[in-house]
């Protein structure tokens, strides 16, 4: 038998066997599909968590950042002395130093009047240090007293600010923020994260109006924009030498990784999703194992007959493995389709960035494939019970 035949013929045999019992095949496919959807959702949530948690930081247009080393996550910053922002300008490579202020305050829903905590992101709007969509058009209006921009992707519990604004073109929307009357001038795109349900962007001056008790000597983050052609890593090293120990100097990828590490390590969330994926795979494996095992147990005489007429153990093992792999493919395809639909539904309900990608589909297929192969290898042990000597 050629290599191709020795793979194709067992595959065809196992397909014919699977096809013969529709109900069992459907049950097995449903099991694989279930595992597939579960893993897709868990992996999707996990990635969405990390993507959304770092969306704000990723949107900042700066090469280096100064941060208090005690800051664990951006939604809960420890302050650092504002003077560090000025000190960083001592280096010729640093073109611009932008202090960023972050705090959470309560927002009163302009429609229902309920209150909810919202994230403030304040900085010198003219600095162009933040790449939020829609911000550039609002830059001038945000300089007005008590002006803010609202993140259109904030959770709906904050009220349908977009609709209210559209209903009164050219007029700001008055809202109560942290006990002060402020005006929403327009909308920007940031997106909620697990740490913040919604965002407001405002100028440094308006931030001070809103939170007058905050010390003017403190900032929460400093974004450093470098001269064109300056090497961020070399500049980072020089800044570390220049600045005292009460700040860390991070590149943007390091800042994003810092934030990510908080969610991965300091919260159970990352573990929960990994655990959820694992559970899905185990349940799927048990289902596939059961199906394959009962297939073998129900066909022991036939398998023994095949051994008697000269088929090898290896051939029968390939039949069982082929069945496992067929189930992987047959369950994965509808599972991926269902997951893509669920991503859309859940994504629009939770405002989390859930999306199907080829690389994720590939990863999940690999996991499902491995799950089915493991089930097949376990079920294969039952083949030993097929004894051709007992046939007569």
Using CB under 8 A, list all residues that contact other proteins. 1-2, 5, 9, 13, 16-17, 19-21, 299, 301-302, 304-306, 308-312, 388-389, 391-392
C-alpha to C-alpha distance for 29 and 45, rounded to whole angstroms: 24
User: Smaller CB distance to other proteins: residue 24 or 180?
Assistant: 24
CB of 389 to other proteins, least distance (A): 4
User: Smaller CB distance to other proteins: residue 76 or 301?
Assistant: 301
CB of 14 to other proteins, least distance (A): 10
User: Smaller CB distance to other proteins: residue 8 or 194?
Assistant: 8
CB of 17 to other proteins, least distance (A): 5
User: Smaller CB distance to other proteins: residue 10 or 31?
Assistant: 10
C-alpha to C-alpha distance for 58 and 256, rounded to whole angstroms: 7
Pick the closest to residue 146 from 110, 117, 185 (CA basis): 185
CB of 261 to other proteins, least distance (A): 54
- C-beta separation of 36 from 347 below 8 A: no
Distances (CA, A) of 220 to 73, 120, 239: 11, 11, 18
C-alpha to C-alpha distance for 47 and 208, rounded to whole angstroms: 35
CB of 352 to other proteins, least distance (A): 46
User: Smaller CB distance to other proteins: residue 157 or 390?
Assistant: 390
SS3 assignment, position 178: coil
- Which residues 6+ apart lie within 8 Å of 77 measured at CB? 67, 68, 71, 102, 220, 221
CB of 20 to other proteins, least distance (A): 3
C-alpha to C-alpha distance for 47 and 39, rounded to whole angstroms: 12
User: With DSSP H G I counted as helix, E B as strand and the rest as coil, what are the percentages for the chain, rounded to 5?
Assistant: 55, 20, 25
Residue 361's φ and ψ, nearest 5 degrees, are -60, -40
CB of 328 to other proteins, least distance (A): 20
User: Smaller CB distance to other proteins: residue 237 or 391?
Assistant: 391
C-alpha to C-alpha distance for 335 and 330, rounded to whole angstroms: 9
User: Smaller CB distance to other proteins: residue 28 or 103?
Assistant: 28
**Residue linked to tokens 């051939």:** 315
């Amino acid at each position: 038998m050629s290599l191709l035949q020795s793979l194709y013929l067992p595959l065809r045999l196992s397909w014919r066997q699977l096809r013969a019992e529709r109900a069992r095949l459907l049950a097995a496919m449903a099991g694989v599909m279930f595992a597939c959807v579960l893993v897709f959702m868990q992996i999707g949530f996990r990635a969405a968590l990390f993507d959304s948690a770092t969306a704000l930081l990723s949107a900042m247009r700066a090469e280096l950042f100064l941060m208090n080393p005690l800051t664990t996550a951006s939604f809960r910053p420890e302050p650092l002395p504002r003077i560090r922002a000025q000190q960083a300008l001592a280096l010729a490579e640093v073109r611009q130093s932008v202090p960023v202020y972050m705090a959470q305050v309560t927002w009163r829903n302009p429609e229902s009047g309920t209150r909810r905590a919202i994230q403030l992101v304040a900085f010198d709007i003219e600095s162009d240090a933040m790449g939020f969509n829609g911000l550039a058009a609002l830059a001038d209006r945000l300089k007005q007293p008590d002006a803010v921009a609202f993140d259109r992707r904030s959770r709906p519990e904050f009220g349908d600010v977009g609709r209210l604004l559209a209903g009164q073109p050219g007029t700001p929307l008055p809202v109560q923020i942290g006990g002060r009357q402020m005006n929403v001038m327009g909308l920007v795109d940031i997106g909620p994260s697990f740490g913040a349900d919604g965002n407001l962007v405002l100028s440094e001056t308006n931030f001070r109006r809103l939170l007058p008790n905050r010390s003017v000597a403190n900032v929460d983050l400093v974004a450093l924009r470098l001269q064109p052609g300056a090497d961020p890593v070399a500049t980072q090293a020089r800044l570390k030498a220049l600045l005292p120990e009460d700040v860390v100097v991070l590149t943007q990828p390091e800042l994003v990784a810092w934030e990510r590490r908080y969610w991965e390590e300091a919260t159970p969330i990352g573990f929960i999703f990994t655990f959820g994926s694992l559970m899905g795979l185990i349940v799927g494996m048990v289902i596939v194992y059961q199906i394959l095992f009962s297939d073998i147990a129900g066909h022991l005489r036939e398998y023994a007959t095949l051994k008697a007429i000269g088929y090898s153990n290896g051939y029968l093992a390939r039949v069982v493995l082929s069945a496992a792999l067929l189930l992987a493919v047959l369950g994965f395809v509808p599972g991926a389709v269902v997951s893509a639909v669920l991503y859309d539904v859940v994504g629009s309900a939770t405002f989390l960035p859930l999306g199907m990608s080829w690389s994720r589909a590939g990863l999940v297929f690999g996991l499902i494939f491995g799950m089915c192969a493991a089930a097949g290898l376990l079920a294969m042990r039952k083949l030993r019970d097929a004894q051709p000597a007992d046939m007569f």
